[in-house]
Structure 1
């Protein structure tokens, strides 16, 4: 097994190197034979990486503890599903996952209908450089098939925090997003090399970019859901360095997806688009470097080792290569770029959107790296916590919400104040009404009220867009309202899919603002029969129990819950003791309804009749997960789309505004 696994890695290096050379020869000689041979090499890489992956899965499933990776991340009593997902629990396995994904992406590209596009050999070379790097890194410092010196009777087991459905999905979706961003990067570099600065590369990569953004969104949302359920601190986002590392490319890709619309439509913002796609790709390497270098402490990190150095070198190489190509083509990028005609236009609002998202990315990057910078410069490590990120990012995110509220109401090229005010009347009135209602009901917190009112403003703007578009279509086609709304969305899926995504962001914003500003918390030591009250809940401690499940010891506190004066069942927060892990795992007890979560953690206990509980009431947290689902649905609509409305209906829609 060791021999087969190691051979696949060395074969990967050899085939990737050959495919790069074959592509370069094919480009130089304009030889279809060499280019076809390079495509065959890519297919071989898929085959080799799949053999390595299936082999590792087999070793994990059958508890082959003579292999270091299997012994480090599994044990005999670990459920099969978690034995298999240990594939990406450590450095070596996650590198193999990344490799098989990028091999798959590259194969789909080089065998697509665009395989004869002049850019494709260059795109293939850039992606193959990534594949060569990952195979090389596995051989040098992250071999998943390395053997142990002595075969243990049992493995160390999987970290209990990773034994959760969220950790089955979170790494895979995040890696699909990370790897996916290599595709638009490769096309951008290829377009620069070929001096083709029109919008062709953007059109070719639109679906790839949206797909990568979708997976990044899913990865971040699932990661937040896992943290909320599994870590036991009561929140879903702690501005942890590795959380930030996955958030950074999401911000820059979000800017890119908006910015490319201006280049496609107006031929503007070419420099922005090239810069954003390069930065987004580099940030994926940066995130991988953070996880594997050990330079920053994180619950998500794999620990220290030589892999961080390899990633730093590769990241520096790709960055310098990109900068060199951009600088040698800069005058060509600037050529034929049209200026923005008016500061009060949709084009300007998109530029402002870019500035805000990049400012947010820089703020997160600076806060993440400042501890390392301070330690390097002064020798003292100054940690940057959530207060910094909250204070810096809150106004930026508020401005983004307001921008999303007004952008759909602003015309292209040059908007008029009168027309804008007319379009903004009802959405703005909805936001003001929301603020008045919140104040009338005694809701506190000026900034939170402003944030919630702004979110309602943004939500109302997008609902108005759907209503006005539907009404205009009904007027033009005499369709019923439901048919008109569905066909309106189908005929312009990119636009209305984006609106659905924005509605999902509004729902998430309500959950984030409410849960941060209005959560309640009690930490109390209780004896049997004693009660505590928090919000609309009253909890009575009934006693502590012990039992075993799947060979693990479990200590559970039974709590009788009363909600708004009515019995609401019992909940049991737990501590789980694993044979293969020194620290117990916290299993949170949560009761969820439409408006709030009751969140209970068993902190400690003295005996069966005396425990310490951490109890929180988190308003509207379920809206965060609901908003994430809406965002995914909206992205799916935009991903499928690309059609434009017929001229008759388009005129009707414009006149309806």
Structure 2
């Protein structure tokens, strides 16, 4: 297997180089035979990367400890699913997964029906091949997944306890699909620039690819927050960890891109801005990979110190310089026939403000993330930027974004009048003020949460008003029942109403974030069996301390009964898991009672021989709204991507008119 795996990696590197050369020759000579050869080579590369994935899965699943990667990340007592998930637990395996996704995306793009005979194909595939060659080079020289041990160990080291969680199955894979997926719109954008065709056609071709990458980034971030909430035992879901930030920053810039391209499609505006956002988003995915693998910043998610960070930094610099050179060489063409803003009170302006807020948020996160490096370079001391900084900076940005999201659906294109603004916003504004007053009456006194909930209410109400008007207009023409009119209106306008559904999901997540950040309470107390912990209207009684065996692992657990306002809610069982052949600290499994109003979050901290135990008990309000909002966002994105009418993609670019032999 070692020989097969190693030879196959070198074969993948050789074929990827050949495919790139074939496309370059085909482009320069306008020879279809060379282009077809390049396409076939791309398909062969996907087949090769699939073989490599299968080989490593087989080695991991069958405990073949002659391989250093297998012995480092698995052990015989590890469940099969986690043995297989160890493929993306370390550098070599995760880079192989990245390569597999790259070749998969490349094959999907060039063999898509909508891309058949499109002259952009060799350009797009060449750019993706540049990425693929880089990753095959790393697999062949630095991060070798089939490297052998000098001495074959009897047992493996096992998987990091924090990674032995269901989140490990989905979180890294979805993030990688998002990261790698961003290479596709980047390749489309650079290909369009190289062909000197800079209208909105390339945007329509790549819209679904961009939405797909954004969907996977969203999934990865939401699943990561859910995993941290249940696994780490600190009571939160987002710690502004450098690697968390690395996945959040491209999400912000891609979100900005998805909004601003609508202006280019409709008004031929913001061409340079949109290309810059694509380049920035792609660069941030590489930057995130650099952070994970360089060891320059401390993170529970990082793979540790390695020289891979240097390679990624060089590759990122090359990619950015190349992309900026191509864009600037077409700058005059991009500015030609570009539309202009006619009024500040217009939908175009609201989209632009939305973009500026999102990019400002990206810069704030970026600065907070790299500040320890800057401080170390300037003063020689690494100053860590913590959660308070990010929360303080990002909270007003979140509110500003929610306000712009509220205004955008009801504001007119080109120019809105004061009369139009009054007609559209007076009722939602008054109702949102009423919501804030009701919350004040029910005991919420802080200015920030009152304003925040008011703005979120305003956003939800403007969207509901827009949907109601659309349904009413359709019903007046078709005489359909309201539910039928709603369904048909949405299915006929999937992009718009899928976007509104995503906005609803964001609003639900905002409700959860505002509630959990402003009203959480916590206590820590040591109690004996039979004693209680009182936290607001919750009464938690310590009933039992026990120990059990789960495979090779020892689990210490406590049984707690929970009452609220004198009513029994049930029992929670917080646990500490000690892994059999791992010297790392025990893992935490929280005891959780969740409702729409709040989560009761319990952690078993320590215990004594006499069974006295110390517990952390938290009340986290509205956290369930975050996960529900994430699901709604995903549903809305899938609705916008799936089905419906789609502009036919025809090869109307310059290269299509040139004769190909």
What TM-score, normalized by structure 2, do the two folds share? 0.96
Q: How does 1:41-440 map to 2 (within 5 A)?
A: 41-113=41-113, 114-440=115-441
Give the drift of 1:644: 9.4
Classify the secondary structure of the residue corresponding to 1:607.
Answer: coil
Cα offsets for 1:518-572 (capped at 9, x unmatched): 0110011111211111132101112311121112111111111112211222211
Q: For the structure 1 residues 213 and 644, does the alpha-carbon distance in structure 2 shift closer, same or farther, using more than 3 Å as the test?
A: closer
| CA distance in 1: counterparts of 2:87 and 2:506, whole angstroms | 33
Separation in 1 of the partners of 2:445 and 2:147? 58
Between 1:600-609 and 1:127-136, the stretch displaced more is 600-609
| Offset from partner CA, 1:451-489 (integer Å, 9 cap, x none) | 111001101111111111111111110001111000000
- Check the 8 A contact 1:496/1:638 in 2, yes or no: yes
CA shift, 1:618, in A, is 0.4
1:605 aligns with: 607
- 1:108-162: CA deviation from partner (whole Å, max 9, x where unpaired): 1111121321211111110000000001011121111011111111111111111
Measured after TM superposition, the shift of residue 94 of structure 1 is: 0.5
Contact 1:491–1:644 under 8 Å retained in 2: no
- CA deviations over 1:395-423 (Å, ceiling 9, x no partner): 11100000001111100000111111111
1:558 is paired with a residue whose SS is strand
1:652 corresponds to = none
How far apart, CA to CA, are the structure 1 residues paired with 2:447 and 2:123?
54
Deviation for aligned residue 1:331: 1.0
Output one character per residue of 1:329-351: Cα deviation in whole Å (capped at 9) or x when no partner.
Answer: 11111111111111110000001
In structure 1, how many angstroms separate the alpha carbons of the residues matched to 2:611 and 2:564? 24
CA-atom RMSD in angstroms: 1.1
The alpha carbon displacement at 1:587 in A equals: 0.8
Indicate the SS of the match to 1:443.
coil
**2:287 and 2:537 mapped to 1: Cα distance?**
45
Match of 1:562 in 2: 563
User: What's the counterpart of residue 534 of structure 2?
Assistant: 533
Structure 1 residue matching 2:23: 3-state secondary structure: helix
CA distance in 2, matches of 1:643, 1:352: 30
Deviation, structure 1 residue 643: 4.2
* Match among 624, 627, 637 for residue 625 of structure 1: 627
Counterpart of 2:563 in 1: which secondary structure? strand
**How far apart, CA to CA, are the structure 2 residues paired with 1:609 and 1:560?**
17
Question: Residue in 2 aligned with 1:651?
Answer: none
Where do 5+ consecutive residues of structure 2 fail to align? 648-661
CA contact (8 A) 1:347 1:413 kept: yes
Residue of structure 1 in register with 2:545 after alignment: 544
2:37 aligned residue: 37
C-alpha deviations, 1:496-536, integer Å up to 9, x for none? 11000000000000000000000110011111211111132
CA shift, 1:444, in A, is 2.5
* Larger RCO, structure (CA 8 Å, separation 6 or more): 2
Matched, 1:515 2:516: yes
Q: CA separation in 1, counterparts of 2:643 and 2:361?
A: 29
Q: Partners in 2 of 1:593 and 1:419 — Cα distance?
A: 41
Q: Which residue of 2 aligns with 1:649?
A: none
State the shift of 1:613 in Å.
0.6
SS at match of 2:637: helix
Deviations 1:14-62 (A, max 9, x none): 0010000000000000000000000011011001100000000000000
Q: Separation in 1 of the partners of 2:634 and 2:505? A: 8
Choose which of 629, 636, 639 in structure 2 pairs with 1:637.
Answer: 639
- Is the contact between residue 545 and residue 608 of structure 1 (CA under 8 Å) also seen in structure 2? no
Kindly indicate whether the alpha-carbon contact (under 8 Å) linking 1:173 and 1:219 is maintained by their aligned counterparts in 2.
yes
Q: Provide the C-alpha distance between the structure 2 equivalents of 1:536 and 1:408, rounded to a whole number of angstroms.
A: 41
Secondary structure, counterpart of 2:608 in structure 1: strand
SS of residue in 1 equivalent to 2:415: coil
Counterpart CA distance in 1 for 2:407 and 2:539 is: 44
State how far apart, in whole Å, the 1-side matches of 2:596 and 2:436 are.
21
Is 1:3 the counterpart of 2:3? The answer is: yes
Number of aligned residue pairs: give it.
Answer: 645
Q: Distance in 1 between matches of 2:373 and 2:140?
A: 29
1:229, 1:500 → 2: CA distance? 27
CA contact (8 A) 2:491 2:644 kept: no
Q: Does 1:458 align with 2:459?
A: yes
* Cα distance per residue 1:290-312 (max 9 Å; x no partner): 00000000000000111111101
Matches of 1:234 and 1:128, distance apart in 2? 43
Q: Are 1:615 and 2:617 an aligned pair?
A: yes
Equivalent in the alignment of 1:653: none
CA–CA separation in structure 2 for the residues paired with 1:194 and 1:594: 53
8 Å CA contact 2:78–2:158 kept in 1: the answer is yes
Determine the C-alpha separation between the residues in 2 that align with 1:419 and 1:643: 31
Match of 2:586 in 1: 584
Query: Which residue of structure 2 aligns with residue 655 of structure 1?
Result: none
What runs of 5+ residues in structure 1 fail to find an aligned partner? 646-657
